[in-house]
Amino acid sequence: MITTSVTDIVYSAQSGLLRFNFMQGNMLKNMLADSIMINLFETPRQDAAIANIYLREWDNNGIVQVTPLLFHNEGIKTYKNAQGEVIWQTTSPRFVATAMLSFATGQGNTYYYSVQVENKSCDALRYDLIYGQDLSLCDLSATKTNESYCSQYLDHKVFNLEEYGYILSSRQNLPQSCGNPLLQLGSFSPVIGFSTDGYQFFAKQYKFTHQPTIINTPRLENKNYQYEMAYVALQLQPVTLSSGEQASQVFYGSYLSHQPGANLEQPLDIAQIRATYRPPETLPTTEAEAPVELGYAQRPLSGETLRSDEIEHLFAGEKRVIEESDGQLLSFFYQDANYVTLAAKEHYLERATGHIISSGNNLDFNNPIMNSTHFIYGVFNSHLTLGNTTLNKLLGINRNLLNLFKSSGQRILVQIEGEYRLLAMPSAYEVGTNFSRWVYKLAGGLILIRAFASQSQPVIQLDIEISGFARPLNVIVSHQLVMGDLEEASLIEIEQQDNLLLISRQHDDTGPQFSMIASTAFTGVEKRVDSDSQSPLYLLLKGQIERQASIAFGGVLKGVDSRGSWLDFHHERQQYHAQFRDLMNDFSIHFSAAPQQAVKLNHAMHWFTHNALVHYSSPHGLEQAAGAAWGTRDVTQGPLEFFMAMGRYQQVEAILCQTYRHQYLETGTWPQWFMFDEYGQKQQQESHGDVVVWPLKALADYLQATGHLALLDTPLPYTSIEHGFAFTQQQETLLQHVQRQIDHIVEHLVPGTFLSSYGDGDWDDTLQPANQSLRKNMVSGWTIPLTLQALKTMMQALQGHAKFADIIARMSQLAASMQADYHKYLIKDGVISGFIHFNQGEAEYLLHPVDQTTQIKYRLLPAKRSIISESFDKEMAEQHMKIILENLMFPDGVRLMDKMAEYKAGRQTYFKRAELSANLGREIGLQYCHAHIRFLEALCKMGMAQELYDNLFKTVPVGIQECVPNAEPRQANCYFSSSDAKFDDRYQAYSDFQQLKTGDVAVKSGWRIYSSGPGIYINQIISSLLGLRYQCGDLLLDPVISRQFGDVTVQYQVYQRPITLRIHPLQGEFTPKRVLLNGQPLAFSLQANPYRSGAALIRRQDIEAGMMKENSSDNQLVIYL
């Protein structure tokens, strides 16, 4: 094994609060102000910083040459001078450019980049300068947790002054350890152009060109795009130099540790900023050592376009849900819901296509599960974990969706024409349930790379196959090692045993040990270590491939040992598919009048099952690498409802017991989230006011469905706040836990009422209260009907059993009093209020037609939950459904409110995130898909089959543009948590919101996979659309089927027996009129529903008596509506 040293910080330039850390070759690592990270991305050791100054040479026809002046050009040398200032000097045939970093005199908090250009040619030199700077302004730890999240709350304010042109002030609206940091960027020369986000500057095409797209555009956009990669760029007025002439220009960044209230009303005093600038006086004296090169900075390699016959050969079989643009194939599904994306589609996507694979032992969350995240542009494995997805990482995460950093995770370099080049965008990319496959058509040959997970053990393997090359292919496979939470934070040791490498944290006998085993094609191993600690940062496997080579990852954790295991892909795929079909109860659906809709739904059910398992067993997503925890509210919805719908009651009981173990002994409520493994003491103690209700509702739903009341006798510990979130020695029955839970609800009612106080919020995280009065004296119109539903369902589940008489009486009294106050206070003028705020005995109505403060008239959550919980009578339900359809329904789904909270540069009045987020994504844009799915549940409750048909597919990514015409292209096989309007910023969205309702504004995909939404959607398909539910073990049939579907045929399982379900909407679209099992009529009773005729209840013994023998798959259950 060869060892190479790589230095970390070799020099820090600092002044006042500012400290700029540089690695070897004066490569910027980060920009700090005390604990605040000014820049967004900490530069990896083997990559280049994305902040830079670009010199663009012009002629009469436009831009002819672009040269980066800070990092990575062929003619650059870097120095430090006697004052410790950092200098980059670039020499080209036409000019010499010297860029220098300096700081304000007197230890000020302003930095300057001065650029001096001298024309060395005989002709005139016309050029301009563009300075681009990524920004976070968050605490270092917060920045590294999620750069996109930090960007969403960074407000950019644009000023345009006559003398200086554009000046940008960027304020972090999320409170940090120092307050709300701010950075003002500008120049002493006129700034004629600006942009504010990396998706403007680098753009989607960067995934192909690996060059900032905007630098070849004559003028920056001059548009404030508040998206997910804060990157401020400033363009100076062009300069023309005659031969031998020089010119100097200066950019500056002025930092404030706290800007209270909101962003600046006027820019910082530029005269003062200029007064503290000291022009360069001394020449360079100390040349810096050149940075280490690994090939990442060299030309990446993309696959060539595949011909149609090559596509057919590689992906043989029927193509379904084909997506094209101008006759060009973009994506399709084939085989077992496998999804194939051609490279051409990536030109349309801001969110690069990705995938998460997990080992198939993930039905039990206690198992050590191995996960890996893949991305289309040559991220073959990243965020590879065993167990906890935050703290047990082997490989680093992909921190940006444009592939800006090319050393993250596992990467492959191939030698083409004597040069090692990094594999980037493939010709095609395929994802299956447990694998990804990259296809590279290159230089007359084909490289097929597959990464896949085992069905039975925590092992992930990479296979590389080549064909069509004249000689064996030299390759380097690079691995960015983490062995913990963050890159470069753990001390790592590697032991080599022939072709087996064992990787662990130094002096750690309890954490995971990973293994890598390489096939004989790999003959060389190199580790690149930190020059100080000697801890490995990168592990390189080098070899020569004739036909095939493999690398397998295994590990040891919790007594499970998968080190040194090899896998066979076809066997693992077959086993994984069989397990998946079994978990889904062999679900398959067909609509006689809408066969294409059925194809879409089948694919969605498959991929949402995959997404739901990720959320349950290894919580994280493609945009949200940090996770590894269960949100108390989330796990008792998505995972629990998924397993309930599939009849997997063992998993449901395990979720309930694990959740109730985390109930606080001292308070009776729960943390907002908690880790559920060996790191279970990591949790967020403060929780929203509704969180205490969700475990009660989940338990009640389970008991009502199964009748398994013996679960209430299970002894369980509590979690003790006073003892560091450890489990208590004391155990009480689950029923006693419930009693303590009800105690908490009663103790946290608004004084003088039976309405729960808002606490730290409700389901809508954007509406967290901005002050203490709101926490104690505000009531959520959504939490109350949710609580009523939980109490009533629990009472129904326990009724008829004398041992529960006392708790039933207590819940009954609480529910009756709460119901009375619900009608007394929350409903005004026939409309339910989003919130009410009790202020000195007076009720202030918020998010209601009488609300003159926020100007928001309607809120979805209270209305739909009041329907689902049957808290409304029929007239109220119909009235509120009309309000929803008229005011909250948009082409891409139902929105949380009829208008968004007004944004005022980060100034808070009532709500935190709704008034702090500068970005329109996630809940801020009001179309949060989880809420739309719950709206489907309300439609089913009311029997509104046509409206259900119209809205069923709006959150399904498969062929979404057929249902949502204004939807932009997106990855079609994974759940997106929100539908984000294509507005540039909050101000435009607020003023032009109605254009979204008319469909004149496009909508984009939000964050992907990590959500309770997939599990909830699957439950709505099974329990609400098809109406398959259970009550004390008996079967409820309550389908809601629009005649536009025609006759519905479903393959599924009932009581663990395969069955064909046929639903015929003849007389109506809900409520069974006749039910036949294998040709014989079944007796049933109709259940009550306050809004329509209800479900048919059939005794389990009648179903089982009418079924054929156990191994028969010919059982036919026919329902006539």
Do residues 76 and 16 make contact, with C-beta atoms less than 8 angstroms apart?
no
**Given this model, what pLDDT does residue 80 score?**
85
Torsion of CA 1007, 1009, 1012, 1017, to 10 degrees: 100
User: Which segment of 104-113, 591-600, 770-779, 802-811 scores lowest on mean pLDDT?
Assistant: 770-779
Report which secondary-structure segment, H or E, holds 792.
helix 783-798
Contact predicate 822/755, CB 8 Å: yes
Q: Tell me: pLDDT of 294 over 60.
A: no
What distance in Å separates the CA atoms of residue 23 and residue 547, rounded to the nearest whole number?
39
Angle at 509 (CA atoms; ends 503, 511), nearest 5 degrees? 65
Q: What is the mean pLDDT of residues 362-390?
A: 96
Q: How far is CA 582 from CA 361, 609, 647, 1057, 1104, in A?
A: 14, 12, 11, 11, 20
- 1116-1120 and 1057-1064 beta bridge pairing: parallel
Q: What is the pLDDT of residues 448-484, one digit of tens each?
A: 999 999 999 999 999 999 999 999 999 999 999 999 9
Confidence band for 1111, pLDDT divided at 50, 70 and 90? low
Per residue in 349-373, pLDDT (tens digit) is 999 999 999 999 889 999 999 999 9
Q: What is the mean pLDDT of residues 587-613?
A: 98
E strand or H helix that includes residue 1116: strand 1116-1120
Judged against a pLDDT cut of 60, whether residue 296 lies above it is answered with: no
CA dist 312 and 325 (Å) reads 19
| Each residue's pLDDT tens digit, 345-355 | 999 999 999 99
- The rounded distance, in Å, linking the Cα atoms of 382 and 284 is 41
DSSP symbols for 449-468: EEEEE-SSSS-EEEEEEEES
Burial grade of 623 (CB within 10 A; 0-12, 13-18, 19 or more): buried
H helices present in 388-437, as ranges: none
Give the pLDDT confidence of 37-73 residue by residue, as tens digits. Answer: 999 999 998 898 999 999 999 999 999 999 999 977 7
Cα–Cα distance, 1059 to 538 (Å, whole number): 53
Neighbouring residues of 100: CB distance < 8 A, sequence distance ≥ 6: 81, 85, 86, 87, 88, 113, 114, 280
Mean pLDDT of 598-609: 98
Q: What's the pLDDT at 290?
A: 62
Tell me, what DSSP letter sits at residue 443? T
Q: Is the dihedral of CA 496, 497, 500, 504 positive or negative?
A: negative
CATH superfamily for 1026-1120 is Maltose phosphorylase, domain 3 (2.60.420.10)
Query: Angle at CA 469, nearest 5°, toward 466 and 471?
Result: 105
For the chain, the first-to-last Cα distance in angstroms comes to 71
Q: Which residue has the tokens 């896949």?
A: 452
Mean pLDDT score, 13-17:
93
Distance CA 995, CA 973 (A): 28
pLDDT at 252 over 80: yes
Pick the range with the lowest mean pLDDT from 7-21, 217-231, 329-343, 591-605.
7-21
pLDDT of residue 768: 76
Residue 492 to residue 533: CA distance in whole angstroms: 9
Q: What's residue 293's pLDDT?
A: 56
Q: What is the pLDDT of residues 763-812, one digit of tens each?
A: 877 777 777 777 888 999 999 999 999 999 999 999 999 999 999 999 99
Other CB atoms within a 10 A radius of the CB of residue 609 amount to 21
Give the pLDDT band (50/70/90) at residue 6: confident
SS3 of 929, please?
A: helix
Residues serving a catalytic function are 765
Does residue 337 carry a pLDDT above 60? yes
For residue 307, is pLDDT > 80? yes
CB-based contact 732:718 (threshold 8 Å): yes
pLDDT digits (tens, 9 = 90+) for 400-409: 999 999 999 9
CATH code for the part of the protein at 15-279:
2.70.98.40
| pLDDT, average across residues 428-432 | 99
Looking at residues 114-137, what average pLDDT do you find?
97
Superfamily of domain 308-582, CATH level 4: Glycoside hydrolase, family 65, N-terminal domain (2.70.98.40)
What is the tens place of the pLDDT at every residue in 651-694? 999 999 999 999 999 999 999 999 999 999 999 999 999 999 99
pLDDT at residue 963 is higher than 70: yes
Q: Where are the domains of the chain?
A: 15-279, 308-582, 619-748, 763-888, 891-1012, 1026-1120
* CA-CA-CA-CA torsion sign (631, 1017, 704, 583): negative
Identical fold at 308-582 and 1026-1120?
no
Structure-block tokens of residue 518: 């390489």
Q: Please report, as a single letter, which amino acid is at residue 1066.
A: L
pLDDT (tens digit, 9 = 90+) per residue, 164-202? 999 999 999 999 999 999 999 999 999 999 999 999 999
For residue 613 the two structure tokens come to 């398992």
Please state, rounded to an integer, the average pLDDT across all residues of the chain.
Answer: 95
